[in-house]
Structure 1
Amino acid sequence: MKNHILLVDGMAILFRAFHATAYRNYFMVNSKGMPTNGLHGFIRHLAAAVDHFEPTHVAACWDMGSKTFRSEMLDTYKGNREAPPVELIPQFDAVKQVAAGYGIPNIGLKGYEADDCIGTLACLYAEEGHHVTVLTGDQDMLQLVRPNVDIAIMRKGEGNYEVFQENSFFEQKGLTPAQIIDMKGLMGDSSDNYPGVKGIGEKTAIKLLTQYATIDQLLENLEELPNGVRKKIESDLDNLHLSRKLAAIHCEVPISCSLEDAKWEVDEKQKQAMLEEFELMKLSRLLRPADSVTN
């Protein structure tokens, strides 16, 4: 049977789980005074994904601090983001303990984002012939779609996904996965706080890439563009090149995760101990694969 590896964008799920309840100022707090609504939601989202995609292996990737090679390239990168809510901060480390309680390896490396770790592992596993599904809420991940790599974007509710695959990607997005990088280079990204070309939005970026395929070919044919568009690009070339570099997921991070470590196999005693520690026993019925280890 072909291995199916689920790569989990840990922070994306944790933030989604937290804000799903926090917007009502509702926080689950255990007897130690620790908020656990993010942990609770993380487990529920993870359980829904495992049930839906039926992976043979699972690994979770995480950001390891705010300083990365991108923030060295642009000191204002992601600088517009608010500090995380105080109720969420203690759950950053706890959620990794939750993942470990289910036997899921936690992958991350300082200087890189979770996206880069996911991209690296996805490419490695796909090249070895395995099927990879990336679970995320981040549209930037769409550039990773390729043979053997699907991107599952979480939609509202649990177990609701829009899955992007190589054979149908162009029909869904009107671009190739590689063109997602160039689109972000042209239009920038207000969420990650990098500029792109001032005055060029998504609609114009897609139109230009539909005609010229890549930024490089676009630049070789600037004289063909309408004066307004050409002048915008010519006056913002530095930001164009910088934004394209910032948008590209780095798929050569010096990390590894063996299939043996990532095998989806829950040790019930380990799981129960973790759930008891964080007082999440109401969720004990979730994530119980048929081949659970009972020891």
Structure 2
Amino acid sequence: MADKKLLLIDGNSVAFRAFYALYRQLESFKNPEGLHTNAIYAFKNMLDVLLKDVKPTHVLVAFDAGKVTFRNKMYDDYKGGRQKTPEELLEQLPYIQEMLHDLGIKTYELKNYEADDIIGTFVNLGETADFKVTVVTGDRDLTQLTSNKTTVMVTKHGVSDLEAYTPEHMKKINGVTPTEFIDMKALMGDNSD
């Protein structure tokens, strides 16, 4: 395969962005059974654009397997400052995964790990196998994964406005390399985490 392209999507993060992209129309996006569908609709629209623009040969959408991870065992209050996920979004997550499966797109989740951990692992595996990797997320922490083989696309507004992070863009925006970004975040801390 001459031009191998791996698209990795942070499923929870993108679903969250999709949900709030159409939040004002929340009550308009319901099926006859009362299921909210705004996140499903916006997620699918974003996916269509990504597949067209990136033209990946391989796609994986990673999801969090639950709220408890190995980090909670290290620090009880890990993500203690996070707001609870709205029920209207939680009810849509299984349908987003079902939609992805129906489209032939693989999803992956692993107990005690976050989608970020899965994506980091697959970035490493993809680069080792000479893939050009594109990561899509709403989490700027994943920009530490940028390299000459990996671009991290971060949602800015809604799900259609994305900012492409490369090592050069990281240096321009943050004044640090992707590796230095890890140290910078460790020194700064993160209220949400």
TM-score w.r.t. length of structure 1: 0.62
Residue in 1 aligned with 2:178? 177
Q: Map 1:111-260; keep pairs closer than 5 Å.
A: 111-192=112-193
User: Cα offset for 1:166?
Assistant: 2.9
Distance 1:51 1:37, change over 3 A: same
DSSP-derived class of the 1:180 partner: helix
Alpha carbon RMSD of aligned pairs, Å?
A: 1.5
2:136·2:153 contact (CA, 8 Å) conserved in 1?
A: yes
**Structure 2 Cα separation of the partners of residues 48 and 32 of structure 1:** 29
- Structure 1 residues 208-231: Cα deviation after superposition (integer angstroms, max 9, x where no partner): xxxxxxxxxxxxxxxxxxxxxxxx
Distance 1:33 1:159, change over 3 A: closer
**Structure 1 Cα separation of the partners of residues 159 and 144 of structure 2:** 24
**Structure 2 Cα separation of the partners of residues 51 and 158 of structure 1:** 15
Percent identity of the aligned residues? 37
Of structures 1 and 2, the one with the larger relative CO (CA 8 A, separation 6+) is 2
Residue in 2 aligned with 1:20? 21
Residue in 1 aligned with 2:47? 46
**Structure 2 Cα separation of the partners of residues 38 and 168 of structure 1:** 29
DSSP-derived class of the 2:87 partner: coil
- Structure 1 residues 31-81: Cα deviation after superposition (integer angstroms, max 9, x where no partner): 222111110111011111112222222110000000001111111111122
User: Cα offset for 1:103?
Assistant: 0.7
**Structure 2 Cα separation of the partners of residues 82 and 44 of structure 1:** 26
**Structure 2 Cα separation of the partners of residues 133 and 96 of structure 1:** 20
**Structure 2 Cα separation of the partners of residues 25 and 94 of structure 1:** 16
- Larger Rg belongs to: 1
Distance 1:67 1:106, change over 3 A: same
Q: Structure 1: any 5+ residue segments left out of the alignment?
A: 193-295
Amino acid paired to 2:131 = H
**Structure 1 Cα separation of the partners of residues 159 and 107 of structure 2:** 22
Distance 1:79 1:191, change over 3 A: same
Structure with more strand by fraction: 2
1:21·1:27 contact (CA, 8 Å) conserved in 2?
A: no
TM-score w.r.t. length of structure 2: 0.93
1:55 counterpart = 2:56:
yes
Q: Structure 2: any 5+ residue segments left out of the alignment?
A: none
**Structure 1 Cα separation of the partners of residues 114 and 158 of structure 2:** 26
